[in-house]
Amino acid sequence: MSTAPRLTALDALHRSLGATMTDFAGWDMPLRYASERDEHNAVRTRAGLFDLSHMGEITVTGPAAAAFLNFALVGNIGTVAVGRARYTMICAENGGILDDLIVYRLGETEYMVVANAGNAQIVLDALTARAEGFDAEVRDDRDAYALLAVQGPESPAILAAVTDADLDGLKYYAGLPGTVAGVPALIARTGYTGEDGFELFVAPEHAEQLWKALTEAGASRGLIPCGLSCRDTLRLEAGMPLYGHELTTALTPFDAGLGRVVKFEKEGDFVGRKALEAAAERAETAPPRKLVGLVAEGRRVPRAGFSVVAGGQVIGEVTSGAPSPTLGKPIAMAYVDAAHATPGAEGVGVDIRGSHEPYEVVALPFYKRQK
């Protein structure tokens, strides 16, 4: 099936900035504007501006909204306070991960679920089906929002220049409605880069005005536009999983080392509970493979799908790999047999087009910002 790519509200602006565009989950998105390494380093040291309008927003409202989300998702959404957010997952009945999500509690009975672009329809369909019997409404708001992100150590100062909102009072994983550059926005202190930063949900018709105001406010602080290429290396360094790579329907949250997002203690049943209880026990007693970090000793870059080897045997598979601008070496995330998953494990390598290149097994993340 071939369909025309979807364009964000900022499409013309990206092209005027000379962006190299790429297809991502059916959207035509900026891959990079100039050097992706410069963009990566800008986010680590100053600030970067991203268009993330491909992300899928789904609004859930109604008296039973919290009870419904507790049933539909693996996290304990009922304990999220108004104005706060939670990283969570939606699983199939067999425990397989359908998507990882951020849920923002916007009001007493109003939540916004943000899904990955490639899974937004799946999540929407699953939520709609699971809402049956609950006094809650699931609304597709994908077209209601553009999403811009300002990420990096300078981002609080840049955003403060264009809003009166109380950013100091806005903690990590919190979100509040406000006005930014004269337009109404949901201001969230979230991101996918390992840096401090903000995500701004606005009406698509306001996206350009907001982008331009942030660009202007950030010019003296080193803010540059950033594409998906550096977003990927930033999240990889920060050890953050990417759906389709570290997370798939074939894995449970426990397999991915993210069992902590599953809250068995919450009230009532939830989709996948039984399978996930078994997965939790398996992970405790006989873990099959574990997600680890790999750091290259050489300069050849491991890519998703490459085999991890030890003693001539395949012991795992790379899920994401890239040259790390911060470490100055190739890095990867990989699932490896538990016997080889301890940091410092001897003799581990990656099969790079037939040659076994030595790699060091390390704990994730590769990079953690100094607070």
Name the residue nearer to other proteins (CB basis): 111 or 192: 192
- Does 32 engage in binding with other proteins (CB under 8 A)? yes
- Among the candidate windows 29-37, 199-207, 216-224, 276-284, which touches other proteins by CB under 8 A? 29-37
Find the binder of other proteins among 15, 212, 260, 299 (CB under 8 A): 299
Interface with other proteins (CB under 8 A), residue from 300, 305, 311, 369:
300
Q: Which amino acid is at 233?
A: T
Shortest spacing between CB 104 and other proteins, in angstroms: 31
| Residue 37 binds to other proteins (criterion: CB under 8 A) | yes
Nearer to other proteins, 210 or 236 (CB): 236
Give the separation between CA 146 and CA 126, rounded to whole angstroms. 23
- For residues 237 and 225, what is the distance between their CA atoms, to the nearest angstrom? 20
Q: Quote the least distance from Cβ 232 to other proteins, whole Å.
A: 8
- To the question of whether residue 277 is assigned a binding role by annotation, the answer is no
Residue of 119, 151, 233, 320 interacting with other proteins (CB under 8 A): 233
Q: In what order do the strands lie in the sheet with 6-7?
A: 6-7, 27-32, 20-24
Q: How far is the CB of 211 from other proteins (least distance, A)?
A: 23
- CA–centroid distance for 285 within its chain: 29
Q: Exactly one of 35, 94, 109, 121 binds other proteins (CB under 8 A); which one?
A: 35
Closer to other proteins by Cβ: residue 342 or 355? 355
DSSP symbols for 16-74: HTTPEEEEETTEEEEEESS-HHHHHHHHHHSEEEEE-TTSEEEEEESTTHHHHHHHHSS
Greatest Cα pair distance in the chain: 61
**Strand 313-324 with 329-337, pairing:** antiparallel
C-alpha 218: how far from its chain's center? 24
Nearest to 18 by CA among 6, 35, 2: 35
Q: What is the rounded distance in angstroms from the CA atom of residue 208 to the CA atom of residue 146?
A: 10
SS3 call for 205: helix
Q: How far is the CB of 231 from other proteins (least distance, A)?
A: 11
Count of chain residues binding other proteins (CB under 8 A): 16
Give the dihedral of Cα atoms 36, 37, 42, 48; nearest 10 deg.
20
Of the candidates 3, 91, 362, 42, the one whose C-alpha atom is nearest the C-alpha of residue 195 is 42
Tell whether residue 322 is a contact of other proteins (CB under 8 A): yes
Query: What CA–CA distance (Å, rounded) separates 58 from 114?
Result: 6
Which of residues 32 and 46 has its CB atom nearest to other proteins in the complex?
32
Shortest spacing between CB 322 and other proteins, in angstroms: 6
Q: What is the contact mask toward other proteins in residues 302 to 321, using x (rule: CB under 8 A)? A: -x------------------
Residue 301 binds other proteins (CB under 8 A): yes
CB of 352 to other proteins, least distance (A): 9
| Contact between 36 and other proteins per CB under 8 A | yes
Nearer to other proteins, 300 or 369 (CB): 300
- For other proteins, the binding residues (CB under 8 A) are 20, 31-32, 35-37, 229, 233, 299-301, 303, 322-323, 330, 353
Q: Which residues participate in the annotated binding site?
A: 199
Q: Which residues participate in the annotated binding site for substrate?
A: 199
